[in-house]
Every structure is written in C-alpha cells, then in structure tokens.
Amino acid sequence: MNGSALIIAIDGTFASGKGTLARRVAGRYGLAHLDTGKLYRAVARDLLAEGGSLEDAERAAQVARRIDADTLDDPYLKSGGMGSAASKVSVHPPVRAALLDYQRKVAARGAVLDGRDIGTVVCPDADVKLFVDAAAEVRARRRFEELKGYGEDVTVEGVLAALRERDDRDMSRATAPLKPAADAHLLDTSKLSIDAAVSAACDVIDAVVNATA
C-alpha cells in the first residue's frame, strides 16, 4: 500500500452501479469518496451557465480550473442532460488535465474514487482497482428507474439509446478512454444485487489489505 493511505479505484460503464458501490465501499473502510463524474458534470453546468459551448475545449478547461468542490452536491448535476453534457466536455484533453490535480490530492489522503480513468490515468498505482460493468439493457432499466425517481419524463428505449451513445463516446475518445486497467478486477453486476456486488468488491479489497497488513 502507499504508506497508510488506501486508494481504491472503481471504474466502469454508465449506470453499472459503480457509484453506489463506491459509496458503500468507502463507508465500509472509513475512506473519503470522490465521484469524479461530478467534476465533469460541474464543468458542463458552469460552462453552459456562462453561455459557453461544450465543444469549446479551451473555455471548458478555464471553467475546469476554477471548479468549486463545494458545489458538487448540487442535485441538478445528477440529471440525464448533465450526464450527457459531461461526457461531451470530458473528451477535451485540457479539461481532463485541469481536473487531475484535485483528484490526485483527494486520493493521496486515502479514498475511493469512481469514474472512467481512475485505475488507468488518475491513480495508476491504486492499491485496488475494480472495473464494474453490466449488460446495457440492465443498466438502462436501472437508470430509467433512477431518472423517474427524479421526476424526469423518460422511456427505457430513450435511456438505452442515450446509454449506448455515452458508452461509445467514453470508450472511443482519444484521451483516457474508458477501459479496464490491465490489473483491474472485473465485476459484472448484471445479476447481482447491490449487497452482493458490495460483498464481492470487499472480498477483493480484503484480500489486498490482509496481504499487506
């Protein structure tokens, strides 16, 4: 391990359950949790609020350099529109570079970070790396239920189409594309309850913690 600071990287596809998993794992090990998707969502929110374009890499990077971590709990960030806007600003290398330092500082204190490039780029030396995925139809159904809970007017088909588009963009971008790190443990949550997924993740983490204790 890196001194006493345990770093757990949880990457995965959209609506794979990685966010809930990361929050639960952080609670179990007494670690801070950073949902790094919120950083990209906040960049998209602030950029659009000042009239900027999601295609404008330089302006998006300027916004990313002044992101206020105290605004990450804004419920508006969880909307479907912000997710797709976040995916668009996240393709710009200067935006990714601007957010690196903050993510690494959080990690250095010991944390669970979830995102798309934590195990590959942000924390390549993380103690434990998990890559979470599930069948697209299962993820679409989960996300549909979540968005309905926020009061959004959505259909499963619409959510599935948006999900495929997002997977495609996240996996095919040139910089830090979504992919499992070579040393990541793969976790398919298609048939797992959240409790079962947490338990499987903790088995992997415990094995690492016990081996280095």
The count of residues interacting with ligand DC (CB under 6 A) is 14
* Residue 107 vs residues 103, 104, 110, 124, 126: alpha-carbon distances, Å: 6, 5, 5, 11, 9
CA dihedral 37, 39, 40, 42 (to 10 degrees): 120
Residues 140-169 that bind ligand DC (CB under 6 A): 166
Nearer to ligand DC (CB atom), residue 100 or residue 209 = 100
* Residue 180 vs residues 25, 27, 66, 166: alpha-carbon distances, Å: 19, 24, 29, 17
Work out whether 14 is an interface residue with ligand DC (CB under 6 A): yes
Euclidean distance between CA atoms 56 and 38, whole angstroms: 19
Work out whether 87 is an interface residue with ligand DC (CB under 6 A): yes
Work out whether 83 is an interface residue with ligand DC (CB under 6 A): yes
Query: Taking CB positions, which residue lies at the least distance from ligand DC?
Result: 37
Euclidean distance between CA atoms 192 and 108, whole angstroms: 31
Work out whether 117 is an interface residue with ligand DC (CB under 6 A): yes
Residues 32-61 that bind ligand DC (CB under 6 A): 36-37, 40-41
Q: Which three-class secondary structure state does DSSP give residue 122?
A: helix
Nearer to ligand DC (CB atom), residue 42 or residue 192 = 42
Is residue 23 within 8 A of residue 56, CB to CB? The reply is: no
Only one of the segments 63-71, 83-91, 131-139, 194-202 lies at the binding site for ligand DC (rule: CB under 6 A); that segment is 83-91
Q: How far is the CB of 96 from ligand DC (least distance, A)?
A: 7
Which DSSP state fits 184? P
Only one of the segments 51-59, 85-93, 138-146, 150-158 lies at the binding site for ligand DC (rule: CB under 6 A); that segment is 85-93
DSSP-assigned beta bridge partners for residue 185: 130
Q: Which of 33, 45, 92, 116 binds ligand DC (CB under 6 A)?
A: 116
Q: How far is the CB of 200 from ligand DC (least distance, A)?
A: 20
Nearer to ligand DC (CB atom), residue 31 or residue 178 = 178
Six-digit token string for 193: 């309850």
Rounded to the nearest 10 degrees, the angle between the axes of helix 37-49 and helix 57-65 is 110
Q: Which of 25, 61, 86, 107 binds ligand DC (CB under 6 A)?
A: 86
Q: How many residues does the chain have?
A: 213
Q: Which residues bind ligand DC (CB under 6 A)?
A: 14, 36-37, 40-41, 83, 86-87, 90, 115-117, 166, 170
